[in-house]
Amino acid sequence: MTAAGPGQEPTRTSRAGTGRAIALGAGALALALVALVALVAVPRSGGAVSRGASPIPSGSATASSAGAAAASADCTTAPAALGASSGVCTAPSASTAPSAAPIASTAPIASSPVSPSPTATLDTADPPAPTSARGFKVRATVVPLAFPLPSTAAYRYGDAWRAPRDGIARRYNQIRGIAPDGSYLRAHDGIDLLVKNGTPVLAPFSGTVVDPARRWKPWDPGRYGKVVVIESDEPTSPGYLVVLAHLSKASAAIGDHVERGQLVGRTGQTGNAVGTKPHLHLELRAPFLIRYGYAGVIRRLDVFDAEPSIRAADPRGG
Ligand SMILES: [Zn+2]
């Protein structure tokens, strides 16, 4: 997590002749004192910011558009690259809002735009997620996690799990039925949080950023766009994975270890979210295969409905 904005200037040091050395030294000492006082006075960004359950729309600072409106559907098709093997995805999507916050334009933005949700701290008292498929409830199991958006973000719930989708259902995708020709009808594997482009995306749990193309084959970047996938190493959800998709920017690379509540990217409309309402697509996947039947077919999949977990973590109370 970087605290300094891109506009920050490097500090300068200068040295003068010996005659002025003492005066300079005294001045530097005074400056240091001022800096120390400032450090003590200003709350640290990125630390355990205890903001309480602040109301959702940030009244003041950013003009967090509550503009995200009606329904969404991520069904169009557009190619999108999933970053190189390093996983570092730097190119912002062409059409969307710039990912770097405009620092100079509005003074009140000075405070960090990333304020973790109150759920950003691991609560070990939370009932742990199941460690096996036995008794797993595909539409009701709750995985302890942190809400993936800052407490200042204005968001709404969009399309839910199993909403209709066009296209081929991969082996790792759930289905919503069988077409007359026998093929599977694809369904929405995650939930959508409607939120303006460029919104910070926070790690729902601590863990390692993994390469989805090695985990699920064939991985479909044209569908998911730019993603950050985190494999949890928290004691209440070990091995669970979260897929954060359609990002405009990824701030964590494959192999990185991230902490719960850490900034890992910015929302966008990459992949098949082009042309839809801006949203974060979020999937949860289990560390084991769950056997379940739907539309007369029994399959073994790791994906399940993320909505109960997200609503449980929602600082607004779901
Ligand atoms: Zn979605």
Domain ranges of the chain: 135-313
Residue type, 170: R
Q: What is the CATH superfamily name and number for domain 135-313?
A: Glucose Permease (Domain IIA) (2.70.70.10)
Residue 252, pLDDT > 60, answer yes
Average pLDDT for 84-105: 34
pLDDT digits (tens, 9 = 90+) for 199-229: 999 999 999 999 999 999 999 999 999 999 9
pLDDT value for 318? 67
Lowest mean pLDDT among 13-22, 87-96, 254-263: 87-96
pLDDT value at position 223? 94
Tokens of 35: 């800096």
What pLDDT sits at residue 292? 87
What is the CA(203)–ligand 1 centre distance, in A? 17
Write 47-51 long-range contacts (CB < 8 A, 24+): 48/121, 49/115, 49/116, 51/115, 51/118, 51/151
Q: For residues 260 and 121, what is the distance between their CA atoms, to the nearest angstrom?
A: 7
Reported as a single tens digit per residue, the pLDDT across 114-171 is 788 778 888 878 899 999 999 899 999 999 999 999 999 999 999 999 999 999 999 9
| Count of all residues that appear for the chain in the document | 318
Residue of 229, 200, 243 lying closest to 97 (CA atoms): 200
* Gap from CA of 56 to ligand 1 centroid (Å): 22
Distance 190 CA to ligand 1 centre (A): 5
* CA 101–ligand 1 middle distance (angstroms): 25
> Whose CA is closest to 318, among 119, 69, 62?
119
Torsional sign, CA 15, 21, 22, 23 = negative
CA of 165 to the centre of ligand 1 (A): 9
Q: What is the pLDDT of residue 22?
A: 39
Q: Which two tokens stand for residue 194?
A: 């409607």
pTM of the model: 0.66
pLDDT tens for each residue of 52-80: 333 333 333 333 333 333 333 332 222 22
